[in-house]
Structure 1
Amino acid sequence: MTMNVPLLPAYDRTALRPGIVHIGLGNFHRAHMAVYLDDLFALGQDHDWAILGAGVRAGDARMREALRGQDCLSTIIELDPAGKSARRIGAMVDFLPVEAGNASLIAAMAQPAIRIVSLTVTEGGYFINPATGAFDPDAPEIRADAATPDQPDTAFGAILAALRARRAAGLAPFAVMSCDNLPGNGHVTQAAVVGLARLSDPGFADWVQDNVAFPNGMVDRITPATGPRERALAASFGLADDPVPVTCEPFRQWVLEDHFPAGRPALEKVGVTFTPHVHAYEMMKIRILNGGHAIIAYPGGLMDIEYVHEAMAHPLITALLDKVEREEVIPSVPPVPDTDISAYYDLIRSRFSNPEVADTERRLCLDGSNRQPKFIVPSVRDALAAGRSARGLALVSAMWCRYCAGTTDSGTVIAPNDPNWDALQSLSLAARPNPQIWLDQRHIYGDLADHPGFAGDFAHWLTSLWDKGTAATLRAYLST
């Protein structure tokens, strides 16, 4: 059945003027920031804050071709269990050429009208050294940009080239706003931009440090990858010709520091929270939601469960989630302004259970080597420091290790699901007789590898997962 074709934006898109360059036009950006701006434009507000899309990877050219082929409109399908709805948002007015050296991107960011440059380049795109948690000046891409600062290939190199051009022209710098799911994402972005500048021009690096704003922000909306199911949904709304529709849950949240010296759109009018306490919202979300994703991901993956809502219908997995969250995660989450943390967890649990989203366990299992140190290990540290048990979190880590062996409990082969998959698989298999081998990944666990309680719990659970399987191991944990 074909549903009604979504209406085009009610505002006059020909009157929009770009004020933002956004790098990284993936599903999350189009279902989040672009939707907030679309709502604002529909109020008749701030039509000089439209988005110029951009990308710095070769694959971004495909997105550019797809979006420019439909006048830069995006189809957003909200997957509410009470009824799906679709809209076409028009907050983006063009998509810049994707090219080596990023000349078009640099020229656009150097224009006076651009007052914000925003990014969604994924959690792994900030050149963080996993061993130190700090910016990695020795990353090959960073070294290459430092050697050719006028023809950079990274987003951060392009930002620096544009800032140099603006300073030379006497223009104020734009604010640089990360929209990625990182603790202290503004600080992380500043470290990357300033750190790259310092490799070729320390004086300019000091100027960037002193003059460019990097507001922190917390973003949230579950947005599955686009595949055949999502394209079929778009077709049901009469949009079969859209190759890149976006599906998402109804819920969305954006919390920002109000640190935009060159100005900003009035996003508070469409539900964005401006506060100096972003870190509190951020810790709550990263620990409870992102940590919760990891808690349900690996048992589901090991038990051949395909979808997140199916995992949430499994009594052992939901019991695991409840026990670990309430006993080991939530007690370490500080108070958040105007927020009941227990009610927030109930909301997260409900969001995970939404069958319409059809988010996959495999997506939640992706990139554990980047996500575990951010979403699980900090909760372990806080629980142990407070004298509480971290047995459930040790089990989560053991399930990640078991998953990386590359087979489920049934023997089904797990396709590579981490940028470091080959190394992780080798370590996982070596850890079967000697669990300490896995914990000796110091860039992930640090001195937790030497903590007798955590190491002992991890070894106990990993042995149980291999000998008894995931379901029996969960029952054993839940019985304690």
Structure 2
Amino acid sequence: MSKTGRADETAALHRLSMESLPTLPKEVARPSYDRAAVSPGIVHLGLGAFCRAHLSVYTDDILAAGATDWGIVGVDLLSPAIRDALKPQDCLYSVFSRQAGGDQLRVVGSMLDALALPDDLGRAFSLMIAPTTRIVTLTVTEKGYCQDAATGALDENNPAIKADIANPSAPRTVPGVLTEAIRLRRAAGVAPFTVLVCDNLAQNGATARRIVVRFAELIDPELSRFIAENIAFPCTMVDRITPATRDEDRAAIANGFGIEDAWPVVCEPFRQWVIEDNFPLGRPRWEDVGALLVKDVHPFELMKLRCLNGAHSTLAYLSVAAGIETIAEAMGDADLNAVVHRLWKEDLIPTLPPVPGTDVTAYTAALEERFLNPGVRHRTLQISSDGSQKLPPRLLEPALSRLQAGALPQAIVLAVAAWMRFTTGVNERQESYDIADPMAARLRAIGERNGHDAKRLAGELFAIADIFPPELLGYSAFRDAVEKTLHSLLTKGVRPTLKTFLG
């Protein structure tokens, strides 16, 4: 629990709110500024855990340093659940940093209001066209951008995109919401806001720009040209491990600190933010509180996307099959630990460009320590979600790079085979699990139909062009190695396959 040892379950619980802030234990950090004096300057789309453990924390530090015009209003695009949890708490919430040296709790106050798009569309647009709003930020996961996984372009056949094109004034997708907000702002004669993407996408700002420009073109080509010429989409690299909040976490906060928080955020102590410095209407001085402002984010994002996220995916798919629940348990397994070290050394680090001011080997050593943090219960099944979209940038692109260099990326082969084995929907204990993926129905059908035949399973999955590019499949050694490893996983199991891999 807390460093003070407060764990008495009989202590009175205080529902988190502005009124209860003074009653919280002294070891709980809280806003030191006057929230009533803060005005919103940022509208954030996506109210999940990551933004509240990352963007909102950096911005909370900015407000504590004296800024008063960079408060955040959060908008959930899908569900009112987080809004309904936060509003009775005056949009305060706690960030529960779990670490071996003692858990720490912090109350964050930078989120001034919370909306749900289905109920609050008009209010959301009013805020986005307000001159005081200079930045619109996003954390909506890869699938929220409605892109074609194979090309990176807008998926024009996506039913939600089609619906927004048919009714652009009442959008529900990210491209639709941004396009309509920009149109309304332009019509009101207000200078364009900056769109700041905080999702794990390769060249995330450029990706969002490409998708929004194309969406607008399908509605109004002149508006599309305006967006292409006038809206800034800086790229970012974001990093903080933030597992899904569990009831056990709420109970730990209640028992350890005497606080009732309907939707706290759990995270590791580490945080990193690298931002392309392109903000025509200005920005918070995030660099004063630990962010790195640069001209080119690409080397940093590639390092993180491959070394952290690629390792996460590799651990996740092998662990789900073996029945290992968390990343900490997986990284603590000698065989899996050795796999990740080979993945970094042989398959991923050689594909990276120089990263300014960074020793990549030291970076991966720090990653190992972060993965081993027992306080962060980052579930492998959670990380396994959306594999059809995560696999290409995290593992398939570096695989192609190594193949082009004349090397067979054997650790990536193992990871891809483990993902294919994952599509069967059953682990080695014969326990079923959900496949959370935009292609879930298709993947599940392929996995169930071919779960005992590696050749057929690999063949049908390789045939999905949205995942596996023809250039990669042109290397028969890669295809054959994946199929052989998949056969081992299906017939012998994870542990014997790892022993063979490690020699």
Report the TM range for the smaller structure's normalisation: over 0.9
Change (3 A) 1:433 1:149: closer
Structure 1 residue runs of 5 or longer lacking an equivalent are none
Shift of 1:412: 2.1
- Residue 40 of structure 1 pairs with residue 40 of structure 2: no
Shift of 1:426: 2.6
Cα distance in 2 for partners of 1:304, 1:171 equals 54
**Stretch moving more, 412-421 or 375-384:** 412-421
Question: Could you tell me which residue of structure 2 aligns to residue 389 of structure 1?
Answer: 408
Shift of 1:160: 2.1
- Residue 422 of structure 1 pairs with residue 441 of structure 2: yes
**What is the letter of the counterpart of residue 462 of structure 1?**
L
What secondary structure sits across from 2:136 in the alignment?
strand
Among 174, 181, 198, the residue aligned to 2:217: 198
Contact 1:117 1:175 in 2 (8 A): yes
Shift of 1:146: 1.7
Question: Could you tell me which residue of structure 2 aligns to residue 208 of structure 1?
Answer: 227
- Residue 50 of structure 1 pairs with residue 100 of structure 2: no
Cα distance in 1 for partners of 2:478, 2:414 equals 10
Q: TM-score, normalised by structure 1?
A: 0.96
Shift of 1:71: 0.6
Question: Could you tell me which residue of structure 2 aligns to residue 310 of structure 1?
Answer: 329
Question: Could you tell me which residue of structure 1 aligns to residue 11 of structure 2?
Answer: none
Question: Could you tell me which residue of structure 2 aligns to residue 19 of structure 1?
Answer: 41
Cα distance in 2 for partners of 1:455, 1:105 equals 48
**What is the letter of the counterpart of residue 340 of structure 1?**
D
Contact 1:9 1:90 in 2 (8 A): yes
Change (3 A) 1:279 1:459: same
Question: Could you tell me which residue of structure 1 aligns to residue 284 of structure 2?
Answer: 265
Among 469, 472, 493, the residue aligned to 1:446: 469
Cα RMSD of the aligned pairs, angstroms, is: 1.6
Question: Could you tell me which residue of structure 1 aligns to residue 163 of structure 2?
Answer: 144
Contact 1:100 1:153 in 2 (8 A): no
Cα distance in 2 for partners of 1:318, 1:156 equals 40
Contact 1:257 1:276 in 2 (8 A): yes
- Residue 121 of structure 1 pairs with residue 165 of structure 2: no
Contact 2:145 2:174 in 1 (8 A): no
**What is the letter of the counterpart of residue 274 of structure 2?**
V
Matching of residues 77-156 of structure 1 within 5 Å: 77-99=96-118, 102-156=121-175
Contact 1:373 1:445 in 2 (8 A): yes
Cα distance in 2 for partners of 1:311, 1:175 equals 40
Seq. identity, %: 39
**What is the letter of the counterpart of residue 55 of structure 1?**
D
**Stretch moving more, 431-440 or 124-133:** 431-440
**Stretch moving more, 363-372 or 341-350:** 363-372
Contact 2:77 2:116 in 1 (8 A): no
Among 394, 411, 436, the residue aligned to 2:459: 436
Contact 2:234 2:277 in 1 (8 A): yes
**What is the letter of the counterpart of residue 54 of structure 1?**
V
Question: Could you tell me which residue of structure 1 aligns to residue 487 of structure 2?
Answer: 463
Cα distance in 1 for partners of 2:237, 2:116 equals 29
Cα distance in 2 for partners of 1:386, 1:178 equals 32
Among 400, 405, 410, the residue aligned to 2:424: 405
**What is the letter of the counterpart of residue 452 of structure 1?**
S
Shift of 1:150: 1.9
**What is the letter of the counterpart of residue 463 of structure 2?**
D
Cα distance in 1 for partners of 2:204, 2:462 equals 27
Cα distance in 2 for partners of 1:439, 1:170 equals 50
Change (3 A) 1:432 1:189: same
Shift of 1:169: 2.4
Shift of 1:397: 0.5
Cα distance in 1 for partners of 2:369, 2:87 equals 36
Contact 1:102 1:153 in 2 (8 A): no
Q: TM-score, normalised by structure 2?
A: 0.92
**What is the letter of the counterpart of residue 218 of structure 2?**
L
Deviations 1:13-39 (A, max 9, x none): 111011011111110000000000111
Cα distance in 1 for partners of 2:359, 2:219 equals 48
Cα distance in 2 for partners of 1:212, 1:417 equals 33
Cα distance in 2 for partners of 1:383, 1:374 equals 14
Cα distance in 1 for partners of 2:287, 2:87 equals 29
- Residue 219 of structure 1 pairs with residue 238 of structure 2: yes
What secondary structure sits across from 1:93 in the alignment?
strand
Deviations 1:14-69 (A, max 9, x none): 1101101111111000000000011111112x210100111221x1x111111111
What secondary structure sits across from 2:307 in the alignment?
helix
**What is the letter of the counterpart of residue 470 of structure 1?**
V
Change (3 A) 1:466 1:104: same
Shift of 1:433: 4.3
Contact 1:51 1:92 in 2 (8 A): yes
**What is the letter of the counterpart of residue 38 of structure 1?**
D
Count of equivalent residues: 476
Deviations 1:351-381 (A, max 9, x none): 1111010111111222211211121101111
Question: Could you tell me which residue of structure 2 aligns to residue 300 of structure 1?
Answer: 319
Question: Could you tell me which residue of structure 1 aligns to residue 21 of structure 2?
Answer: none
Cα distance in 1 for partners of 2:322, 2:179 equals 47
Contact 1:78 1:250 in 2 (8 A): yes
Change (3 A) 1:426 1:143: closer
Cα distance in 1 for partners of 2:188, 2:432 equals 57
Deviations 1:430-459 (A, max 9, x none): 253433222222211112233211011011
Shift of 1:231: 1.0
Cα distance in 1 for partners of 2:195, 2:236 equals 11
Structure 2 residue runs of 5 or longer lacking an equivalent are 8-24
Cα distance in 2 for partners of 1:381, 1:437 equals 20
Deviations 1:263-318 (A, max 9, x none): 10111100110101200000000010000001211221111111111111111100
Contact 2:42 2:135 in 1 (8 A): yes
**What is the letter of the counterpart of residue 423 of structure 1?**
R
Shift of 1:392: 1.8
Cα distance in 2 for partners of 1:248, 1:396 equals 26
- Residue 274 of structure 1 pairs with residue 296 of structure 2: no
Shift of 1:427: 2.0
Cα distance in 1 for partners of 2:386, 2:259 equals 32
Contact 2:135 2:194 in 1 (8 A): yes
Deviations 1:81-122 (A, max 9, x none): 111100101001112353368222111111110000111111
After superposing on structure 2, the runs of 4+ consecutive aligned residues of structure 1 that deviate more than 6 Å are none
Cα distance in 2 for partners of 1:96, 1:438 equals 40
Cα distance in 2 for partners of 1:375, 1:262 equals 33
Shift of 1:240: 4.6
Change (3 A) 1:426 1:155: closer
